[in-house]
Amino acid sequence: MMTRPLSDLQNDWEAIYGYCKEYNEPVYLAETGKDGLVLMSQASYESRIEELQTTITVLEAEADYRKDGISYTWEEVDRMAREAIYGDTEAAA
């Protein structure tokens, strides 16, 4: 993690950009010692969004399990997915 003054965005853009790309980490830009902006590469942003979406999906599944108490084996999930895609178990096999 790197924190730089906001003025470096204009004065040292190439170094900030290079850090984001090379280390795949955000740079925190502060103005007069206070939090300001966070700058990160597009790849890093997309990766973090994907991680958050996966986490949300897992948390929703855990909440459903706690509410309904229903859980499925991998084989059951596979069978249900094939039925949903192909329409019946004969075509899915």
CATH assignment of the domain containing 8: 3.40.1620
8 phi and psi angles, rounded to 5 deg = -65, -20
pTM: 0.60
- My answer on whether 55 and 18 are in the same domain is no
> Which pLDDT does position 90 carry in this prediction?
60
Nearest to 39 by CA among 31, 49, 28: 28
> Which pLDDT does position 41 carry in this prediction?
92
> Which pLDDT does position 66 carry in this prediction?
85
- My answer on whether 31 and 48 are in the same domain is no
Reading the chain (93 residues) residue by residue, the pLDDT tens digits are 788 888 888 899 999 999 999 999 999 999 887 878 999 999 999 999 999 999 999 899 888 888 888 888 889 989 988 998 888 766 555
SS percent in the chain: helix, strand, coil, step 5: 65, 15, 20
> Which pLDDT does position 23 carry in this prediction?
92
- My answer on whether 29 and 68 are in the same domain is no
> Which pLDDT does position 91 carry in this prediction?
52
- My answer on whether 85 and 50 are in the same domain is yes
Count of domains observed in the chain: 2
Give the domain range for residue 6: 2-40
